[in-house]
Chains A and B, each alone.
Chain A
Amino acid sequence: MSYMDIRALIEGLHPLERKVAPFLEKGLTLTELTKKTGLQEVEAMRALQWLENKGVLSIVSLDKEIAELDANGKKYVMEGLPEKRLLFEIKPRPLPVEDVMKKLGKEEAGIAIGILKQKAAIQLVGGRIGITEHGKQISEKSSLEEQLIKKLVHGPVAVSALEAEERFAFENLLKRKQIVKKRIAKIKRIELTELGVQLAKQKLQNIDFIESLTPELLKSQGWKSKKFRTYDVAINVPQIFAGRKQEYRKFLDEVRNKFLSLGFEEMTGPVVESEFWNMDALFMPQFHPARDIHDAYYVKEPKFARLDEKIVQRVQQAHEKGIDGSKGWGYAFDRNKTKRHILRTQGTACSARKLASKDLKVPGKYFGITRCFRPDVIDATHNADFYQTEGIVAGDNLNIRHLFGLLELFAKEFAGAAEIKIVPGYFPFTEPSCELFAKHPQLGWIELGGAGIFRPELVTMLTGKNLSVLAWGLGIDRIGMFKLGLKDIRQLFSHDINTLRTMKVV
């Protein structure tokens, strides 16, 4: 052990460690240490653990049997043990057994009689108990048992620390009702290393290190003449949980920023939507299979939306008789159905609203990040409600090549996909339609979304103009799951605070 080692050690001692150090000796217990230092048990323990980390000592945990008084024992210390009390009762004259029982209580009287008989201290004559000569002698002395409870009244004692006859008395009393008890205590004891032995020899109290740098020390420049206690910089510190963003919400924020950086303008719409904006305005016929009762949540009240008659009229006309070179669907458009309130099933409803609005810009690029709702059984791939990202690009001369170019860009920007595949698809409101797949390094081809060019009927009835409108939707929940490393879509809305606190930042 060099001089430098011990200096470095001492300079790094925490005040608690410094308080403990002078008392370190082999076999010292935690309880003894708290008594000697006046520290709280947790403080002393913390100091010992730090010192253990520094190689000064090792902490040994031991189970120890402790003897202590029980409820009756505490009483008997004052009153005397029942056998002694019995002797005093019968000393003046013999008493009937019943009277003794009454005075001492049945149980203790029985034991006392048994013990005293064995010692030939009493005799039974004609149902009365009388004292013998030997009994008179005994009554003058205190028994081993009495001595033991008088010792224990000052506090628990380790069983191992009892003398042989004390231990004998302890075993006897253990058999009786609640006089003494034995419990197992965890004892922390220390073993000193060579460094520890050295440390214990040092006179520490006189060394004055700077613990905290205080304004006073700074003002007085007192720090210049002192040394800073050094820290164990590798020490483990307690973990904290601070406030933070929900990771999926953060991902959606990033998606929004990405669209903004690509020159898109955000659009939105209401959660409670009419069938009109959700479907009819998209030129989906009212008899379309995707419009069955089990494909949308219907609202109880209010059942119907208020709509602008003029645009409903235009849409009805297009559905029934066609528009702009189209045959139309050729059926009787239901005015009540179109007003029916549902929960928005697709973000495309927002695109329809945007196209019909006065502030539509041409050329214009729009996106929406919207909650949508469909009656699905909830499982690992279906949530109660989910996010859709969709949008449109409106222009005078856009074609499918612009759409494909856009999809390639999205695959790169949102999924980091280098290799993509575009295949024919079907959506009721686009023609042509396609689906976008991206190659995932582990999972192979995964579907990112669908796209197409809005049907001319749709565009004409909503804008009154002959525009090209590219439309696309991305499965943003799925892309988010890949990004966050989740296997179950329900985890996007996790309510597990531990998970939310400890989720890694990606």
Chain B
Amino acid sequence: MPTIKFSVKDLQNLVGSKLHLERIKQLLAYCKAEVGSYDKTSDEISADFADTNLPYLWSTEGISRLLKGVIGKEKGIPRVSIKNSNYDVIVDDSVSAIRPYIVAFAARGKKVDNYLIKQLIQLQEKLCESFGRRRKKVAIGIYRLNNINFPVHYKAASPESVAFVPLDFKKAMTLAEILQTHPKGKEYGWILNGLKRYPILMDAENKVLSFPPIINSATSGKIDIGDSDLFFEATGTDLKSLHLAANIFAYALHDRGFEISSVNIQYKNGTIKTPLLKTEKIKINENDVEKLLGLSLKKGDIKSLLEKARYDVQGDSVEIPSYRGDILHRVDVIEDIGIQHGYDKIKGISLYEYSPGRTFEIIKFVNDARELMIGQGYQEIMSPILCNMDLLYSKMNLKDFGTIEIENPMSETFSCVRTWLIPLLMDVLSKNKHVDYPQKIFEEGIVTIKKGVAVVDYERIAAVAAHNNANFTEIKQALDYLLRLFGIPYSIRETGHDSFILGRVGRVSVNGKDIAFIGEISPNVLRNFNMIVPVAAFELNLTALYEAVKRFRKL
């Protein structure tokens, strides 16, 4: 969710109306944005924009354009006239397997000031980061037009063959050196991983403009206060997204009073002029609107609402402005009709169908098991599902029996999914040694176990009793109570389990299937948790028990 900063005064100027702060806050809802803060000294609003598919709104120009429609200052698609030019960009075939596409245009006739530079950089950064997939899909450069000798060449070069002075540095560096030492090289170098040649943008005199998508040249790759003629380019892997980026910037600079000239991009098999500013059309009628919004709007109402949202409408045909790339289906347009109509004016109605509430049978079973433990004086615990291997195994004296580990954990503490519950309860006991004993606690919840290529979730319940006289009898009474009241016969046999004391641990089975283990926790494990009272514990697979009980009851 991008956060965008802009000045209230600038917005007022662009909209051409003295909107006060509260009104702006209300109007931003039309942009699906929420004001985070307003700084009085800098007169800046900071707002969060929810819709990642509407990058044109990440600039004052884009916001103003929409708001002019909302408040009725303008309607329909604003038209931008483009002058033809003889600026050529020649795309060498060597980039086709690396970073195949480039779009460009020139903007002239208006002096840039400090604020506008900041706005352009903000739009450029947000667009490249989020929409441009951290520059992989789209990377943008803006230059002083007069420094460039056309035609510009977009080609691939080997890492050592080209050197130039990158932004923020004083000496010339090769492309390889930039990737190694320049901060931007380190940040975005991953995009070029594994490539033998890198994309480069040079002018007719072999002067480097930029090394996309990494860094621009310090001499010709930037704009300054007072510049009035700009050159825009965007390179990337997806031509559709590049056209959209060019359209958004062309509109923004046009809104600022620049005159836009196209650039001729010469590919091996043909030339295209950018920015395209090509609009698309989609058909919508009153029935579609009523079906989705439940509003019976007339054709005229729909037309005027759409024009507020800056569409053009002719009959059933709706023309979409070229700075929007989010319209895949008519529902995307109908949402705009709803927003312009006002969600506060859409009255909620009740559902008309009766339906019975229903949950899984095992939920009742699980809740019965919980109640039976609580009735025996056990306190219920709830823990995160994420935990760590040290807790599950090292501390419990056990080997991994099928854990789902996380490839990209945020911390070691939460780096895998729990496979059993007793370790979590031991952890609780070890954190509560100062609390009155006896401590009798249990947890019911999901554990997840890897079984070959499959992954299985189980409902489990585990209980521990900790106090000076905690022993096998006590915990077996608890488990016996549970199984007895579920009415299912069980057997228990001695088993080996390194978390427990040898000779005091049993496997419980029902109808030949192992469903639980029970015993006194080994002193080694107790030491690992710094415990100085004995602990008796059981853990029971409720999913398996439920199946067994269900089958047993049917017999």
Contacts and interface: CB of A to CB of B under 8 A. Distances in A.
A498 B432 contact: yes
Interface stretch (B87-95, B157-165, B446-454): B446-454
A501 interface: yes
Interface string B322-362: 00000011111011001100011011111101111111100
B448 A272 contact: yes
8 contacts: A287-B137, A343-B404, A361-B355, A424-B339, A431-B329, A492-B382, A493-B383, A496-B432
A299 B354 contact: no
B428 A245 contact: no
Contacts of B346: 400-401, 404
B329 A260 contact: no
B131 A289 contact: yes
B428 A497 contact: yes
Given A243-B440, A400-B338, A405 B359 contact: no
Interface in B238-259: 238, 240
B21 interface: no
Interface string A374-412: 011110000111000000010101111111111111000
Contacts of B407: 297-300
Given A248-B382, A373-B386, A425-B50, A402 B353 contact: no
A298 B410 CA distance: 11
Interface stretch (B168-176, B265-273, B290-298): B290-298
A329 B133 CA distance: 15
B320 to A, nearest CB: 11
A255 to B, nearest CB: 12
Contacts of B290: 399
Interface in A432-490: 432-435, 453, 455-457, 468
Interface stretch (B143-151, B214-222, B369-377): B369-377
A212 B216 CA distance: 94
B301 interface: no
Contacts of B409: 297, 375
B240 A330 contact: yes
A228 interface: no
Given A327-B329, A371-B385, A453-B292, A270 B350 contact: no
Contact of A300 (B291, B379, B406, B448): B406
B378 interface: yes
B97 to A, nearest CB: 15
Contact of A455 (B329, B350, B360): B329
A397 B294 CA distance: 10
A361 to B, nearest CB: 8
Contact of A384 (B240, B386, B432): B386
Interface range, A side: 35 or more
Interface in B110-136: 130-131, 133
Which of B348, B354, B367: most chain A CB closer than 10 A?
Answer: B348
Contact of A400 (B292, B384, B404, B440): B292
Interface string A262-290: 11111010111000000000000001111
A423 B343 CA distance: 6
B9 interface: no
Contact of B382 (A246, A263, A401, A431): A246
B71 interface: no
A47 B409 CA distance: 61
B547 interface: no
B292 A457 contact: no
Contacts, number: 251
Contact of B343 (A299, A408, A422, A497): A422
A375 to B, nearest CB: 5
Contacts of B348: 401-408
A365 interface: yes
A399 B328 contact: no
Nearest to A500: B379
Given A385-B386, A497-B441, 8 more contacts: A244-B379, A289-B130, A302-B450, A325-B329, A327-B329, A328-B328, A402-B350, A404-B347
B414 interface: yes
Contact of B405 (A246, A256, A299, A435): A299
B555 interface: no
B29 interface: yes
A327 B332 CA distance: 12
A241 B432 CA distance: 15
B410 A402 contact: no
Contacts of A455: 329, 331
Contacts of A421: 344
B343 A268 contact: no
A241 B384 contact: no
Given A298-B407, A301-B405, A384-B386, A424 B349 contact: no
B406 A497 contact: no
Contacts of B51: 426
A208 interface: no
Interface string B31-67: 0100000000000000000111100000000000000
Contacts of B428: 495, 497
A237 interface: no
B457 A290 contact: no
A245 B374 contact: yes
B294 A401 contact: yes
B408 interface: yes
A126 B329 CA distance: 127
A495 B433 CA distance: 12
A205 to B, nearest CB: 38
Given A241-B436, A244-B374, A272-B448, A264 B406 contact: no
A27 interface: no
Nearest to B331: A431
B406 A298 contact: yes
A496 B439 CA distance: 12
A424 B30 contact: yes
A301 B293 CA distance: 45
